[in-house]
Structure 1
Amino acid sequence: MKNLKLAGLLLIGLLFALAGCGSSQDDGGETDGGSGNDGGDDASGEEVRVTLGTGGTSGTYYPLGVAMAQQIFSNVDGVSQARAVSTGASVTNAQELAEEKYQAVLIQNDIAYYAVNGETLSDFEGNKVDNMAGMTSLYPEDIQVVTTADSGIESLEDLKGKNVAVGDQGSGAEANAKQILNAAGITYDDITAEFMGFGDASQGLQNGTIDAAFITAGAPTSAIQELGASKDVNVLSLSDEVIDKLLSEYSYYTERNISADTYADYGQEEDINTVAVMAILVVDKSLPEDAVYNMTKGMFENRSELVDAHSRGEDITLETATDGMSIDLHPGAAKYYEEEGISVE
């Protein structure tokens, strides 16, 4: 009888010991489960998961974002997993980064500026996005003022009294249009402002319901090409005075020259002098410095993946990585640029 009691006590002790070992292994698994590399949070040793917000699947943001996430960020130290998702693009991306749905987003630099400073667009007025930091500038998105060759419109001054598509109401494109018109001494009182997207604006130009349209997109732009398939186009140049005023007042604009060859097949006869905002990549400020450093380094060391994904990948270079950056850089990105001799001021 004593031997049976002793055996029972030994068995109970053994079960408790095994339970303790199992608990220890589970805790260790949770701590170590994504930390196969040296990057990541120094305090916990954990790697981060990155969800990258892009844009619509037919646009430029999406294929570039997929290449960044799958081909580059997934393979760097400090990131255990990266994926790209289709979104409503810049304004939506800023809002959902603020809500921590994404850890990185593609966005226009002017929208990033408005978001961080809580101004200009109704979505951000009095509602700053406090967790956004810059990683890199990508490529220019040109401000194109397009009309038809037979409209008689040759300059911004000629827009007075005309029906002009200025982008969707409250959009970044509308903000661009208003700033450019104001730089030329023109307000909405001088025109009939039509609030519509690029596709609708192209249709309006084709059927004659509008006279000109502001389009913010990398050239060549499909909406202008679609118009050019039925009518010769004329993309206006901005005067030197207007360009200088915009560059002096707004940190996010850069000067651009678009060759006439870009739209030569659609009737364009002259080069186009204009300004552009930049598509940029931003991240959540809370991402570890090591992870963002490795993401930045990985992107430029594997740039060919971006070139293969979309032709705009050709514009993504280390030399232009801080051009038009409208918000403060993440310390991890700044560290990489400093090592490469790129100015971060």
Structure 2
Amino acid sequence: MKKVVICIIVSILMVVLTACSNPYATGKKTDMHKTSNGNSGLHVEKVTHLTWAAGSLGGGWYSMAGGIASIINKTNPKIIIKTIPGGSLQNIPFVENGTAQLAWEQPAFIKAAAQGEDPFKKKYPNIVAIGNGFGFNYFHFAVDANSKINSIDEIFKKKIPIKIAVTPVNNTDEWVLRKVLDYYGVTYKDIKSWGGNIFHGSYTEQAEQFKNGNVDAMFTQLAIPGSAITEASNGREMKILPMSNDLIKYLSKYGIEKGILPAGTYPKVVNGNKDIQTAMMGTILVTNKDVPDNVIYEITKIINDNQERLPSIQAALKDYDIKKAVKNLGTDLHPGAKMYYKEMGIIK
């Protein structure tokens, strides 16, 4: 009888110890411990698989996510991150429902998601931030340099039969393009009635369609220099149309700011030797509030410990600054990220 009782007690202890050792088993936060440098910190010691929702294939978001994921894995091989295509509109539900644990986002969409406002139809209360300042994404309205089109206004006021390539429906770029069309009082149906069309595809597909002459224009949102624009301009003469002040003012109500594509960003673009006025949105790294503290703490630490390596992934990351990482988030910081920033003296 004693042996039976002892076996039962041992079995119970094993179950309890196993559950306590796995932060994902109960959903509870991992306790803090001391790191080797004496700071209070959290460390990932078990193999942890994560998914990072980025942007379209061939875009800056996708390459940035893959590059940073590689740095994280090389620093701590226990953290294994898979990158998947996404976009601001898809990434919110991806993180909310657990399809992804990390994602690129933009302030306007984070706020809209929290409040259940356009373009979202419900509230997404579990989105929290790891940090801001991962570059800006600039809108490019690029056309065939030989098309004699010199402004965006001209396209829609003259009802030019133009074929425009953009990301799939309900992706950020496509949503913003529809806002641009709203400004001009135009719809996809109107464009088709003029003899034009809308092609939906990834950045890589858009570049191929442009080079092959199947579309007349590309509407993209990319960290600069955007590889899709560089690739497309290498295969066909291109010009980038500036956005007017009035158009940018209209877009500003959606959290979109005025930006400049600096001269020299795209050497093969015919007007690339001049600054080009356009619109832009910043990039924030978000997660779900239920992702364990130790995972987010260590990811935040690794990214900031390797700040000097970020520009080699994407030039847009050269301006990343830890002091700005906690500002203009549109949501709360994840507790793991907050712990790291407190240790560094960035927040109190």
Instruction: Give 1:176 shift.
Output: 1.4
User: 2-side partners of 1:152 and 1:176: how far apart?
Assistant: 24
Contact 2:73 2:80 in 1 (8 A): yes
Q: Which moved more, 1:140-149 or 1:111-120?
A: 111-120
1:95-117 Cα offsets, whole Å, 9 max, x none, are 23222243322344455445434
User: 2-side partners of 1:257 and 1:245: how far apart?
Assistant: 17
Q: Which moved more, 1:164-173 or 1:104-113?
A: 104-113
User: 1-side partners of 2:237 and 2:300: how far apart?
Assistant: 42
Query: 1:301 maps to what in 2?
Result: 305
User: 2-side partners of 1:105 and 1:233: how far apart?
Assistant: 32
Q: What SS does the aligned partner of 2:258 have? A: strand
Partner residue of 2:325 out of 304, 321, 325: 321
Partner residue of 1:222 out of 215, 227, 244: 227
Shift of the 153–298 alpha-carbon distance from structure 1 to 2, 3 Å rule, reads same
1:259-306 Cα offsets, whole Å, 9 max, x none, are 220112332342111122233211112245676455434421332454
Aligned residues: 316
Instruction: Give 1:194 shift.
Output: 0.7
Q: Which has the larger radius of gyration?
A: 1
Partner residue of 1:66 out of 52, 59, 69: 69
User: 2-side partners of 1:295 and 1:203: how far apart?
Assistant: 35
Query: 1:187 maps to what in 2?
Result: 186
Query: 2:50 maps to what in 1?
Result: 51
Letter in 2 for 1:129: Y
Shift of the 223–245 alpha-carbon distance from structure 1 to 2, 3 Å rule, reads same
User: 2-side partners of 1:71 and 1:202: how far apart?
Assistant: 32
User: 2-side partners of 1:303 and 1:180: how far apart?
Assistant: 35
1:140-188 Cα offsets, whole Å, 9 max, x none, are 11111101222122222111113242432222111111223444x3422
Query: 1:232 maps to what in 2?
Result: 237
Instruction: Give 1:331 shift.
Output: 4.8
Contact 1:111 1:172 in 2 (8 A): no
Superposed, 1:29-44 pairs within 5 Å as 29-33=17-21, 41=29
Instruction: Give 1:62 shift.
Output: 3.8
User: 1-side partners of 2:275 and 2:313: how far apart?
Assistant: 28
Shift of the 262–43 alpha-carbon distance from structure 1 to 2, 3 Å rule, reads closer
User: 2-side partners of 1:203 and 1:308: how far apart?
Assistant: 26
Instruction: Give 1:227 shift.
Output: 2.5
Contact 1:87 1:93 in 2 (8 A): no
Letter in 2 for 1:285: K
Contact 2:289 2:334 in 1 (8 A): yes
Query: Normalising by the residue count of structure 1, what TM-score does the alignment of the two structures yield?
Result: 0.74
User: 1-side partners of 2:190 and 2:346: how far apart?
Assistant: 44
User: 1-side partners of 2:64 and 2:238: how far apart?
Assistant: 26
Shift of the 286–259 alpha-carbon distance from structure 1 to 2, 3 Å rule, reads same
Query: 1:283 maps to what in 2?
Result: 287
Query: 2:39 maps to what in 1?
Result: none
Q: What SS does the aligned partner of 1:146 have? A: strand
Percent of residue pairs identical: 21
Q: What SS does the aligned partner of 1:264 have? A: coil
Query: 1:245 maps to what in 2?
Result: 250
Shift of the 292–84 alpha-carbon distance from structure 1 to 2, 3 Å rule, reads closer
User: 2-side partners of 1:31 and 1:108: how far apart?
Assistant: 36
* Structure 2, unpaired ranges of 5+: 34-41
User: 1-side partners of 2:343 and 2:106: how far apart?
Assistant: 26
User: 2-side partners of 1:169 and 1:24: how far apart?
Assistant: 52
Partner residue of 1:146 out of 117, 142, 145: 142
User: 2-side partners of 1:108 and 1:336: how far apart?
Assistant: 22
Instruction: Give 1:68 shift.
Output: 5.5
User: 2-side partners of 1:320 and 1:20: how far apart?
Assistant: 54
Contact 1:120 1:175 in 2 (8 A): no
Larger relative contact order (CA 8 Å, sep ≥ 6)? 2
Shift of the 264–130 alpha-carbon distance from structure 1 to 2, 3 Å rule, reads same
Letter in 2 for 1:321: A
Q: Which moved more, 1:87-96 or 1:268-277?
A: 87-96
Shift of the 299–152 alpha-carbon distance from structure 1 to 2, 3 Å rule, reads same
Query: 2:98 maps to what in 1?
Result: 100
Pairwise CA RMSD of aligned residues? 3.6
Partner residue of 1:129 out of 121, 124, 127: 124
